[in-house]
Structure 1
C-alpha cells in the first residue's frame, strides 16, 4: 500500500507544472526570471545563459530579456580543436518584457524544444549555469592557498572531506571567477 501511495505522489509531482514556464507568467525582477528558468533548466538537464536585452535609453531600466539554452547559436570553427564546438543552434528560449503598468516582467515567448540531447541526471549539476560555489567553499580554497596548497590539491582535499570525491558541484575555473 505504501508503494501505491508513493507512486501516486510521484504522479502528482510530475503533473504539477508550476516549475514549467508559461506564457503570461510574471516576475518581480529579472534575476527572479533567471533563477526560475535556471531551476527549470536544472530539472530538464540543460544549461542557460543570458542573451539579448534591451534597456530604456533614458532611465537605463531593463525592458526585455532573452534567456537561451547555452547551445543556442553557432561558434566560429576552431581550427586548432574542431571538436570544441559546443553550440548547435538550439532554439529553446524564454523571453520576458517589462509591463509598464505593473512593473513586472511578463513571459511573452517560451520555446521548450531542444535540438540536442540533454545531459544525464548524474552530470546536470556540472552544467555551467548549474555550478555553484558557496562563500564557505571559496573561503576554504583561499585558506588552503594561503597555507601553500595548490588549487588541485585543495579540490582533492575538499572532495575527500565532502565524501563525494571530485564531485563538488563546481570547477577550478569557477573559483577563479569569485
Structure 2
C-alpha cells in the first residue's frame, strides 16, 4: 500500500494490529536523497534490531531486489553495490555482502532440492 506519509502508514497498521491483537514497530527504511521511500513495519514480537553485524539478515522485501539482480545474472558484489546506492549507503541496507551471498547460495540449494536447477 502507498501512504502520503510514514506517520500515516504507521497509524494505519498500528490501528489494524490493535484490532487483530498485536502491536507493531518500525524496522528498516530505504532512503533516496535523505527521503524515506519505503519502511518495513513488523510485529513488535519480531525483536529489536541489534547493532551486531553478524546478526543481520535479508528481509523478504529486500529479497525481491536480490533475486531480481540474481535472475539478471548480476554478480553478488555488484548487486550489493547497487543495493547500497539504492538505499543511500551500504550502512543503511541492513545486511552485509556475506549475507547476500549466503542468501543466494541457500536459494540455489533449495532449487536443486526441488529439481529446478537451471
Q: Where on the TM-score scale, by shorter chain, does this alignment land: which range? A: 0.3 to 0.5
> Larger % of helix: which?
2
Structure-1-length-normalised TM-score? 0.28
Higher relative contact order (CA 8 A, sep 6+): 2
